[in-house]
Amino acid sequence: MTEIKQILIDREVPCTVRDGVTLYANVYRPSEAGKYPILLSRLPYNKNLPDFSHRYIDPIKLAMEGYAVIIQDVRGRFASEGEFEPFAQEGKDGFDTVEWAARLPYSNGKVGMFGLSYYAFTQLYAMMERPPSLKAIFPAMTGNIFKEAFGKNGVMELAAAETWVLDSIAPDYLKRKQGSEYAETIKEIKSDLNKIEQWHTYTPFKEWPPVMKHPELREIYSTYIKQEFNKKALSNASYKDLGVIDLPAYHLAGWYDNFLGQTLLNYEQMSESNTNQKLIIGPWGHGMFHSELGERSFGIDSAGTSIDGKDDITSLHIQWFNHWLKEDKESPANSEDPVKIFVMGTNEWRSEKEWPLKRTENTPYYFHSDGRSNIDLSSGSLTTVPPEDERHDQYTHDPENPVPTNGGGVLFYNGRGAGPYDQKEIEKRDDVLVYTTEPLVMPLEVTGWIKVVLWASTDAKDTDFTAKLVDVFPDGRAYNLTDGIIRAKYRYDKEVQPGLTGEVVKYEIDLWATSNVFLPGHSIRIEIASSDFPRYDVNPNTGKTTADTVDMVKATQKIYHQREYPSHVLLPIVPN
């Protein structure tokens, strides 16, 4: 192939879709005449801002490798015409854009798509429409289009949803609606973003002032927090999951990404109909690919710029699309194992044949104590021995004083607070129970899906239970690995269950996944509580939610671990 020495940048290239709306893109392409495969990314965050148009991928490098790279503002955003409806518009617009790109004079007719977060969602929605020219995709850190975008087991990811609307959506949305009045509006938005942590405490959040003070935002915010855009996007679909789609896809995930579980689900579902799936999982947060995250460093070669010391994220894209769009049989994408994971603790990359790993041994670690209100941390133990008859543990969940979020797969303003943080201060609270193993003598690897099976009762009509997996260092530092939450009213499925009346209920809390070696001298710990705020909306314990009410009551929570109710965490242990 001819070596590419120069590229052209075409700005504001129009694409008119089926209903007459014109969408605009920037195109990076080789200056040499010829036919090139297309790499397309569609985003709502402004194609002209390098933080978003380039972010973790270098379009110039892609063009130098012989691709025409198209970065497009989606409908109703920035330069593109039309009305913005998150998610609902991306299927048909995606189909039309793919086929338009395939017909461009410098296109060879083959199109790949790439992008992170919302602009990975645009890949999935376009893919479901089956455009014939779309040959491969590379969705990074994205949700499953059949799941709530900012929800988990019926619980609203409050800070993420509020931040996304106010920071990512509101400025351009209001600028298009208000015209000359926007100058004052943007001052208000900036002021509210400067104090967004305080605004997260406002209830009822369906009347959130930073949004409701702008009449033009009210409908889109209300529709969004009810998840109605997702439902509209899928209203005419006959499929139930991604397993019906036969398209090669390279899925990129992070152990501390807010979409980790859904990205893994995308990989698993799409593998059902197409074995040409790849997966990489790094020790990363949402859109954050440095070697340091939160309060931990994972080594230079953990970063997205030096993956295992030999690749970066852009080079992974080039290898993937070279294979599928240029039929390069020598590409590493053709020969490497389909899964690459970063194992924390030992801080090393490892290739695998599948996800989840078939060789894991799902091992229950049971909760034990002598009955307490979490006064003595050492009294809660975690062992592989099933419990006998033991007293329950008890704490009070006060929704007016919730357990504060401290790290994890969060999506807060400017990426604040994501990743691993020391949990010692959180664990001193009297509304957090901890169960800890003895210090390990040998290293123990946990890689895969994590689940806590919890038997609990409450004197509330409805309540939440949270669980967190923690790596306790010999010096007492306690770093979170993964976590989960369940709302009692959704304890069995999405259908609302009857109110609680004090009965003992079995809950299965999905903690998503991790890969970590607990080193000698370290301990495994599980935290149990009933809030994680403002990551999730706090449960007022009344049967309602803080979307609708300001009324809150305390709840007495009892955690059981005995022969009849053997509460435990199920850990996927990788044998030595």
DSSP 237: -
Exactly one of 200, 286, 368, 561 is catalytic; name it: 286
Is residue 286 part of the annotated active site? The answer reads yes
Q: Which residues pair with 457 in a beta bridge?
A: 558
Residues 6+ apart with CB under 8 A from 335: none
Question: Residue 117 catalytic?
Answer: yes
Tell me if 554 sits within 8 A of 539, measured CB to CB: no
Q: Do residues 62 and 54 touch, judged by C-beta distance below 8 A?
A: no
Is 302 noted as a catalytic residue in this protein? no
- Structural contact between residues 507 and 486, judged by C-beta atoms closer than 8 angstroms: yes
Which of 440, 446, 464, 462 shows the shortest CA–CA distance to 528? 464
Q: Which of 257, 311, 483, 532 is catalytic?
A: 257
Strands (E) located in 44-164: 68-73, 107-116, 134-140, 151-152, 155-156
DSSP β-bridge partners for residue 364: 570
For 323-344, letters b (16+ CB in 10 Å) and e give bbbbebeebebeeeebbbbbbb
Contact between 269 and 242 under an 8 Å Cβ cutoff? The reply is yes
Location of structure tokens 């889109």: 220
Q: What is each CA distance from 414 to 100, 160, 191, 383, in whole angstroms? A: 35, 11, 15, 39
Of the candidates 447, 404, 405, 397, the one whose C-alpha atom is nearest the C-alpha of residue 575 is: 447
Which residues, 6 or more positions from 309, have their beta carbon under 8 angstroms from its beta carbon? 300, 301
| Closest to 261 (Cα-Cα) out of 344, 177, 157 | 157
| DSSP code at position 367 | E
Amino acid of residue 20: G
Consecutive H or E run containing 264? helix 260-270
Q: Are 303 and 290 in contact (CB under 8 A)?
A: yes
373: phi then psi, degrees, rounded to nearest 5 = -120, 35
CB 254 within 8 A of CB 285: yes
Kindly report the backbone phi and psi dihedral angles of residue 197, in degrees, each rounded to the nearest multiple of 5, phi listed first. -60, -40
Q: What secondary structure letter does DSSP report for 252?
A: E
Could you tell me how far CA 262 lies from the centroid of its own chain? 7
- Are 451 and 508 within 8 A, CB to CB? yes
**Closest by CA position to 107, among listed 115, 97, 116:** 97
478-505 burial: b if 16+ Cβ within 10 Å, else e = bbbbbbbbbbbbbbeeeeeeeebeeeeb
* The two three-digit tokens of residue 423, written as one number: 């949990």
Surface-to-core class of residue 388, CB atoms within 10 Å of its CB (0-12 exposed, 13-18 middle, 19+ buried): exposed
Q: What is the spatial distance between Cα 196 and Cα 168, in angstroms, rounded to a whole number?
A: 13
Q: How far apart are the first and last CA of the chain?
A: 46
Active site members: 117, 257, 286
